[in-house]
Amino acid sequence: MAGRALIVVDVQNDFCEGGSVPVKGGAERARAIGELVRRGSGAEYREVVATRDHHIDPGSHFSDHPDWDHSFPAHCVVGSEGSEFHPEFAPVVASGAVGEIFFKGAYSESKSGFEGTSGDGVGLAAWLRARDVDAVDVVGIATDHCVRATALDGVRAGFGVRVLLDYTAGVARESTDRAMEELREAGVELTGTPVVGS
């Protein structure tokens, strides 16, 4: 019987308070997601995976004059403290509760977790299918950017997709509302309420 996986999107230091591209509520969501993983792995979820922005040289995605849509200040540079998982989430990764990590955006913008690959080069969709997963819950940072892109690509890849908004943080009200409408139109199930920065 097919099962459900949890995809935790980009719960990294640079996207939480104190990081280079902070999202209000990011640290609190990191704590809540850690608790969700501890409760859900092996019970509600067949698999739990996480994505990481993993930038080496993403070209115009890094900008001194960002448009805050496709370009941003430098963030999640490979080897930096900002690229590491937030301390409220890192312990559950270290515990083994997260089955795989998918790295994205080494040389590109790459917002969607489905553009990422595991350490041995397997894409997220293929990895999930190999484990008989047909539905995913998506949580993480930010609702209006990488969570949105991951959820939409999940639908395109043929998965049933829910976004658990209680475990997401959005950058701004207008862009988060727009993202939620786009997700609904794509057939994504939305539950809860996101924290929104402004």
Residue 120 bears catalytic tag: no
Residue 104 bears catalytic tag: yes
Residue 24 bears catalytic tag: no
Instruction: State the catalytic residue, choosing from 53, 104, 137, 144.
Output: 104
- Distance CA(166)–CA(32), nearest Å, equals 9
Instruction: State the catalytic residue, choosing from 53, 144, 146, 153.
Output: 146
Other residues' Cβ atoms within 10 Å of the Cβ of residue 90: 17
Residues designated catalytic: 10, 104, 146
